[in-house]
């Protein structure tokens, strides 16, 4: 089923017509430096760059605009004051629709960012210091990011759903000495104990910080530790706080993301290249026009929230909506109510949310006015054509283009994406490469797969782009190993893909041990390490399996220590255990107790077999003769069928 939905006629003020795309894309590949230096002119530089990309992928060493200087907060906020100081920068919609909404003009945002930046300085934060941000989805979360970039501090935002153990790991890994948090967050009517989680993280062995800045949100009574915890109001000040002049390659933020092995990696982005990438992708992919309300439903704890809640919209002088709540509270019409209330023009969300809401039926959508909508977007995982159709036909009333945007934490912004008025749409395809992006497919040996017809393989990127991550914080060897060693000389994405004869790209999902649960990236190794910490668990092997709503679910095979038996109670206990160790997003969907795991004679777990059994696909188990105990497979299948 490969239908084509034609793109709407380009409006007169569109940023990119079909003809322009072809010319611009060709130029971005043939003259990348000239192209990107020109794009960089959309920003204010204290010293304009003369250099474009200076990079190698073998070994990886990446710089863009290296001789340029700028400040990202200046570009996102201060720069707009003369021209649109009274325009709205942020709109805020609270968790509970009956409580007040809020909005901030660029002038008000500037004042708030200065206050927070001063508070950070008083706390002792200096240029280059890492600051951990653990916040609910409220305006102050974005203000915290901007305040860090204003003073040249490097933010590390940790998603508010992560556990104290996960916060602690991230604080220690980047040696962050400061935390910004709130008393509590609210999600779906429930309080999230953010400050208490930070307290618990700081109580863990080996974790120590110099100061915690606490933003009051729900007004909960939270204990404050003398000398360590500070209420925001006590440190904030309106004193002048100039933007720190930064080199383009100075670090901007670290964001932890899951890989196929080990603990999450602290992916590091730098200032100039990221800013140009965030600004350009936001402008072209959403064809953003001044005055439009843009809503990205992602949390600022993920890269999507970094680039498309905070930086991309503000760099374009846009209006970005921040929503604290969830799609199904107080009812399944919540998203559409928010769109009607704030007259959202562009809505950007994940396929998992679309599928979940589609299941509840169109009757939740149609009572809410959607006439303000002009464009819809998706991100995070492949979207099945059925969900795409519902999004386009029902939510967008058949008149809004849908942009499917493929990208990663490591890419900083969109890489392969539909451009709304330049590309026809194929439901389920992420479209064509963004400017400057040269995707490449290779086979298992690393040989490029080429040809004019349909081709399939491992998705690599052949050349650097400005928004590319520069390293893994404190571990460049891991950066090299994770992204540049499988196929030397290329950036390996970890995804599989197909390119059709029309030049459209179809992402087929991860080909490594990363799974994608409700659009959240999860390393199977992380869940396994959490499980084996439990005293009754001997071994664990975790795989992804198809899940109607989440895209993929978490399937755990578990062997127990001598003398223990699997039971529903133990399964519940282990689910709870993983939630505590990592956070609710890692909650196992399925636990399968077994007396052994399928291993080769050399002791390597054969995950291929475990994946197939979890998928209920027993016909394609492949060669099982190399297993140390071939009879185990039958027992595993029996276990799966008896569930
Ligand atoms: C997946 C999120 C298909 C992909 C921005 C990628 C997608 C991983 C899409 C990165 C899409 C993201 N179609 N798959 N439009 N967008 N992915 O780092 O597997 O949280 O490698 O970044 O999400 O997840 P991350």
Mutational pocket test of ligand 1: of 380, 412, 493, 508, the residue with most ligand atoms within 8 Å of the beta carbon: 380
CA of 358 to the centre of ligand 1 (A): 21
CA distance 231 to 235: 7
**Residues contacting 407, CB < 8 A, separation 6+:** 379, 413, 414, 415, 416, 417
Q: Is 382 annotated as a binding residue?
A: yes
Residues with a CB atom less than 6 Å from ligand 1: 257, 302-304, 379-382, 404-409, 430, 493-495, 507, 510, 516, 521
Q: Is 599 annotated as a binding residue?
A: no
Instruction: Summarize the confidence of residues 277-302 as an average pLDDT.
Output: 98
Residue 507 above 90 pLDDT? yes
Cβ distance 354 to 387 under 8 Å? Answer: yes
Instruction: Summarize the confidence of residues 469-489 as an average pLDDT.
Output: 97
pLDDT of residue 258: 93
Task: Give yes or no for a cis peptide into 59 (omega within 30° of 0).
Answer: yes
The minimum-distance atom of ligand 1 relative to the CA of 521 is 20
Q: Which residue has the tokens 């960012």?
A: 113
CA distance 162 to 491: 29
Instruction: Summarize the confidence of residues 190-207 as an average pLDDT.
Output: 97
pLDDT of residue 1: 45
DSSP structure string for 548-580: TTTEEEEEEEEEE-TT----HHHHHHHHHHHHH
Q: How many residues are there in the chain? A: 643
Sign, Cα dihedral of 615, 616, 618, 619 = negative
pLDDT of residue 2: 62
Cα 31 → chain centroid: 30
CA of 96 to the centre of ligand 1 (A): 30
Helix (H, G, I), strand (E, B) or coil at 494: strand
User: Which residues in 153-196 belong to E strands, given as ranges?
Assistant: 154-157, 178-182, 185-187, 190-192
The minimum-distance atom of ligand 1 relative to the CA of 302 is 20
Q: Is 309 annotated as a binding residue?
A: no
Residue 20 above 90 pLDDT? yes
Instruction: Summarize the confidence of residues 4-25 as an average pLDDT.
Output: 95
Q: Is 579 annotated as a binding residue?
A: yes
Q: What is the 3-state secondary structure (H, E, C) of 428-478?
A: CCCEEECCCCCEEEECCCCCECCCCCCEEEEEEECCCCCCCCCEECCCHHH
CA of 604 to the centre of ligand 1 (A): 28
pLDDT tens-digit series, residues 234-278: 999 999 999 999 999 999 999 999 988 889 999 999 999 999 999
Q: Which residues of 440-451 are buried (b: 16+ CB within 10 A; e: fewer)?
A: bbbeeeeeeeee
Domains of the chain from N-terminus onward? 18-498 (3.40.50.12780), 518-639 (3.30.300.30)
Cα 375 → chain centroid: 20
Q: What residue's CA is closest to ligand 1, atom 11?
A: 406
Mutational pocket test of ligand 1: of 516, 520, 524, 550, the residue with most ligand atoms within 8 Å of the beta carbon: 516
CA of 405 to the centre of ligand 1 (A): 8
CA distance 452 to 519: 32
Mutational pocket test of ligand 1: of 407, 506, 514, 526, the residue with most ligand atoms within 8 Å of the beta carbon: 407
224: left (phi over 0), alpha (psi -120 to 50) or beta: beta
pLDDT tens-digit series, residues 421-457: 999 999 999 999 999 999 999 999 999 999 999 999 9
Q: Is 404 annotated as a binding residue?
A: yes
Instruction: Summarize the confidence of residues 169-195 as an average pLDDT.
Output: 98
451: left (phi over 0), alpha (psi -120 to 50) or beta: left
Number of Cβ within 10 Å of residue 66's Cβ equals: 17
Give how far Cα 597 sits from Cα of 522, 553, 559, 642, Å: 21, 20, 8, 18
pLDDT of residue 331: 97
> Among 299, 306, 36, 257, which residue's Cα sits nearest to residue 149?
306
* Alpha-helix residue ranges (DSSP H) falling in 270-417: 271-285, 303-305, 312-315, 334-342, 351-360, 385-390
pTM: 0.96
Mutational pocket test of ligand 1: of 264, 307, 406, the residue with most ligand atoms within 8 Å of the beta carbon: 406
Q: Which residues of 295-332 are buried (b: 16+ CB within 10 A; e: fewer)?
A: bbbbbbbbbbbbbbbbbbbbbbbbbbbbbbbbbbbeeb
Number of Cβ within 10 Å of residue 622's Cβ equals: 10
CA of 406 to the centre of ligand 1 (A): 6
The minimum-distance atom of ligand 1 relative to the CA of 383 is 13
């Amino acid at each position: 089923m490969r239908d084509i939905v034609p793109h709407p006629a380009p409006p007169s003020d569109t940023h990119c017509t079909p003809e322009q795309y072809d010319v611009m894309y060709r130029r971005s590949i043939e003259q990348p430096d000239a192209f990107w230096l020109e794009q960089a002119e959309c920003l204010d530089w204290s010293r304009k760059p003369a250099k474009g990309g200076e990079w190698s992928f073998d070994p990886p060493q990446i710089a863009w605009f290296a001789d340029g200087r700028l400040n990202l907060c200046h570009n996102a906020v201060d720069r707009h004051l003369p021209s649109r100081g009274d325009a709205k920068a942020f709109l805020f919609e609270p968790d509970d629709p009956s409580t007040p909404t809020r909005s901030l003009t660029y002038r008000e945002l500037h004042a708030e960012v200065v206050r927070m930046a001063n508070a950070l300085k008083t706390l002792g934060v200096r240029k280059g210091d890492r600051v951990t941000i653990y916040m609910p989805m409220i305006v102050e979360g974005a203000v915290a990011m901007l305040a860090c970039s204003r003073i040249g501090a490097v933010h590390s935002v940790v998603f508010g759903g992560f556990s104290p153990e996960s916060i602690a790991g991230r604080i220690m890994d980047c040696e962050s000495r400061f935390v910004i948090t709130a008393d509590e967050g609210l999600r779906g009517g429930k309080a999230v104990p953010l400050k208490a989680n930070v307290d618990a993280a700081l109580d863990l062995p080996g974790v120590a910080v110099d100061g915690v800045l606490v933003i009051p949100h729900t007004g909960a009574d939270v204990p404050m530790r003398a000398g360590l915890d500070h209420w925001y109001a006590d440190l904030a000040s309106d004193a002048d706080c100039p933007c720190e002049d930064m080199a383009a390659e100075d670090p901007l933020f670290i964001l932890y993301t899951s890989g196929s092995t080990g603990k999450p990696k602290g992916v590091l982005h730098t200032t100039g290249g990221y800013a140009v990438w965030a600004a350009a992708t936001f402008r072209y992919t959403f064809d953003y026009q001044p005055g439009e309300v843009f809503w990205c439903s992602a949390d600022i704890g993920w890269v999507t929230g970094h680039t498309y809640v905070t930086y991309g919209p503000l760099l374009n002088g846009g209006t970005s909506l921040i929503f604290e709540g969830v799609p199904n509270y107080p009812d399944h019409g919540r998203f559409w109510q928010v769109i009607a209330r704030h007259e959202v023009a562009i809505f950007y969300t994940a396929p998992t949310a679309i599928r979940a809401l589609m299941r509840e039926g169109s009757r939740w959508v149609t009572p809410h006015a959607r006439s303000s909508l002009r464009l819809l977007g998706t991100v995070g995982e492949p979207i099945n054509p059925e969900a795409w159709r519902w999004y386009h036909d029902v939510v967008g009333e058949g008149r809004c283009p849908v942009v499917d945007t493929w990208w990663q934490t490591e890419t900083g912004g969109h890489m392969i994406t539909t451009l709304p008025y330049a590309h026809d749409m194929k439901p389920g395809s992420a479209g064509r490469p963004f400017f400057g992006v040269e995707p490449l497919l290779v086979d298992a040996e690393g040989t490029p797969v080429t040809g004019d017809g349909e081709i399939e393989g491992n998705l690599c990127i052949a050349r650097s782009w400005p928004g590319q991550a520069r390293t893994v914080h404190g571990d460049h060897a891991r950066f090299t190993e994770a992204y540049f060693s499988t196929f030397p000389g290329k950036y390996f994405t970890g995804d599989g893909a197909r390119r059709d004869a029309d030049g459209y790209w179809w992402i087929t999902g991860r080909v490594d041990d990363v799974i994608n649960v409700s659009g959240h990236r999860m390393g199977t190794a992380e869940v396994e390490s959490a499980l084996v910490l439990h005293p009754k668990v001997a071994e664990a092997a975790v795989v992804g399996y198809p899940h109607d709503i989440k895209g993929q679910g978490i399937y755990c095979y578990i062997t127990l220590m001598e003398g223990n038996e699997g039971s529903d109670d133990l399964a519940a206990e282990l689910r709870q255990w993983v939630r505590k160790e990592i956070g609710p997003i890692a909650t196992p969907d399925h636990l399968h107790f077994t007396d052994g795991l399928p291993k080769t004679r050399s002791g390597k777990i054969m995950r291929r077999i475990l994946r197939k059994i979890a998928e209920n696909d027993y016909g394609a188990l492949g060669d099982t003769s190399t297993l140390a105990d071939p009879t185990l497979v039958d027992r595993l299948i029996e276990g799966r069928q008896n569930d």
